Amino acid sequence: MAVATTRFSGRAFSAREMALVREVVRDCSGLSRMELARTVCELLRWRRPNGRLKARECREFLERLDADGALVLPDKRRGRAAGAVTRVPRTAAGEPGRPLGGTVRDVGPLEVELVCEPAERLLFRELVGRYHYLGHKVPFGAHLRYLVFASRPARVVGCLQFSSPAWRMAARDRWVGWDDATRARNLQHVVNNSRFLLLPWVAVKNLASAVLARGLAQMAVDWPRRYKLEPWLVETLVDPRRHHGGSYRAANWVALGATTGRGRMDRHCRRVGEAPKTVLVYPVVRDAKRRLREG
């Protein structure tokens, strides 16, 4: 099998491990794709630092092998795969509210609350699905979601989502000074700000940079609690056709350049240059670049 199909998400699979993967898929064809992924993770001890199985990444790996003809997976069952667009509910809680203006001082203090309860997850999905231009999708890998509240009056003003980083991003990798082996070893210390939404009826001066600052501080506390890993760098992608990234720059993020426009799932380079994005990063720790290079 080609080398490219035996390395995925920073993990190299030996020929013996690949044989075991094919055996599990062949002999356990009655299982769903996610059940197969969990079984493979258990057998190969493919876990996060907090001990949880990397089942979503493993399912994506199995589907890649299936697409390459290396094995044959059972047909998909109904459900939401990672990266899939989800059904967006429409409730009274997600309807446009009264316009809110003023300054951050007028509406503060701000509260950035981790989404945990089912009702909170539904509200987050509705707001992002209805009002973010990318919509709501099931995140890849590790992720945290937040609702942002103003205090005066008490109401939701936005949403934030942090998730697993892009495996390869040239502008970021050049900035860090990574080779492939070091990136594979330290990539889990990078977090992606994959959604940032201020609700369209909210027009509070300097709110965006204030929310980013508060959200980063909260994520830096919650990520190690959930995943047993300290975040050293946060990255995000901004579509220059829609936004200039001024709120990120005002919150001290650094612009590194542009992507190729492929997207994280374009393995065959079919979309190069289709929709390049601006890459911005924010070091969570003072010596982020050195830590990422050296571990």
Tell me the per-residue pLDDT of 156-182, one tens digit each, with 9 for 90 and over. Answer: 999 999 998 888 899 999 999 998 888
270 and 148 within one domain: yes
Domains of the chain: total: 2
Report the CATH number at residue 281.
Answer: 3.40.630.30
E strands, the chain, in order: 7-8, 11-12, 111-114, 143-151, 154-163, 190-198, 233-238, 254-258, 278-283
Q: What is the spatial distance between Cα 191 and Cα 145, in angstroms, rounded to a whole number?
A: 13
Q: Which residues make Cβ contacts (< 8 Å) with residue 98, sequence separation at least 6?
A: 201
258 and 117 within one domain: yes
| The last residue of a domain, from among 67, 89, 115 | 67
16 and 161 within one domain: no
| The last residue of a domain, from among 52, 67, 82 | 67
The pTM is what? 0.73
43 and 119 within one domain: no
pLDDT at 196 over 60: yes
In a domain, 90, yes or no: no
Among 66-70, 146-150, 222-226, 241-245, the range scoring the smallest mean pLDDT is: 241-245
In a domain, 268, yes or no: yes
Are 53 and 38 contacting, i.e. CB atoms less than 8 angstroms apart?
yes
pLDDT at 212 over 70: yes
242 and 131 within one domain: yes
Provide the residue range defining the domain that includes 257. 102-294
pLDDT at 222 over 90: yes
In a domain, 110, yes or no: yes
Are 78 and 108 contacting, i.e. CB atoms less than 8 angstroms apart?
no
Question: Residue 225 belongs to what H/E stretch?
Answer: helix 207-227
Q: Check residue 265 and give its pLDDT.
A: 45
In this structure, what is the dihedral angle of CA atoms 207, 210, 212, 215, given to the nearest 10 degrees? -120
In a domain, 76, yes or no: no
Among 28-32, 33-37, 49-53, 229-233, the range scoring the smallest mean pLDDT is: 28-32
- Mean pLDDT of all residues in the chain? 87
CA 105 from centroid of its chain's CA atoms: 30
pLDDT at 246 over 70: yes
256 and 170 within one domain: yes
How crowded is residue 92: how many other Cβ atoms within 10 Å of its Cβ?
5
pLDDT at 273 over 70: no
124 and 38 within one domain: no
| The last residue of a domain, from among 14, 44, 67 | 67
* CA angle (24, 28, 31) in 5-degree steps: 120
pLDDT at 4 over 60: no
Looking at this protein, which amino acid is placed at residue 126?
E
Confidence of residue 153 (pLDDT cuts 50, 70, 90): confident
147 and 36 within one domain: no
187 and 106 within one domain: yes
Query: Across residues 240-249, what is the average pLDDT?
Result: 86
Q: Which residues make Cβ contacts (< 8 Å) with residue 218, sequence separation at least 6?
A: 112, 114, 146
In a domain, 183, yes or no: yes
226 and 169 within one domain: yes
Query: Across residues 6-33, what is the average pLDDT?
Result: 86
pLDDT at 17 over 80: yes
In this structure, what is the dihedral angle of CA atoms 132, 136, 139, 144, given to the nearest 10 degrees? 60
Summarised one tens digit per residue, pLDDT across range 76-122 is 765 555 556 667 889 999 999 999 999 999 998 999 999 999 899 99
Q: What is the DSSP string of 169-217?
A: -HHHHHHHT--HHHHHHHGGGEEEEEEEEE-TTB--BTHHHHHHHHHHH
pLDDT at 266 over 50: no
In a domain, 220, yes or no: yes
In a domain, 116, yes or no: yes
133 and 57 within one domain: no
134 and 61 within one domain: no
E strands, 60-198, in order: 111-114, 143-151, 154-163, 190-198
In a domain, 92, yes or no: no
Q: Check residue 86 and give its pLDDT.
A: 66
